[in-house]
């Protein structure tokens, strides 16, 4: 596993992180690992969604803009209600 060092963190940010970690019952280090992991996953999902939208735009062309991600989510929600 890698070791990361973060320098020059403002005291206010450190204090908020300490409070957040305490509320979650974790150490500051564990809370930071969780935050970084969640951010990485969110960034990866956003990139995948953008790539999917680009693919759909190529198929349908720029004259017919569509938000395929929103459509797929809506379709899945409708299926879940029907189940």
Model pLDDT for residues 36-62, shown as the tens digit of each residue: 999 988 888 888 888 877 887 777 776
Tokens standing for 81?
A: 């209600």
Asked if the structure places residue 6 within a domain, the reply is: no
Asked if the structure places residue 50 within a domain, the reply is: yes
Range of the domain at 54: 11-82
Asked if the structure places residue 49 within a domain, the reply is: yes
Q: How far is CA 16 from CA 7, 28, 46, 52, in A?
A: 16, 10, 27, 36
Domain count, the chain: 1
Q: Supply the mean pLDDT for the chain.
A: 86
Asked if the structure places residue 3 within a domain, the reply is: no
Asked if the structure places residue 4 within a domain, the reply is: no
CA 41 – CA 81 distance, rounded (Å) = 27
pTM: 0.56
Tokens standing for 74?
A: 């809506």
């Amino acid at each position: 596993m890698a070791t990361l060092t973060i320098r020059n963190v403002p005291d206010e940010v450190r204090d908020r992180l300490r409070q957040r970690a305490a509320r979650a019952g974790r150490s500051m280090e564990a809370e930071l690992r969780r935050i970084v992991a969640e951010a990485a996953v969110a960034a990866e999902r956003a990139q995948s969604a953008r790539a999917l939208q680009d693919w759909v735009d190529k198929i349908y062309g720029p004259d017919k803009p569509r938000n395929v991600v929103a459509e797929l989510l809506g379709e899945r929600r409708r299926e879940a209600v029907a189940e």
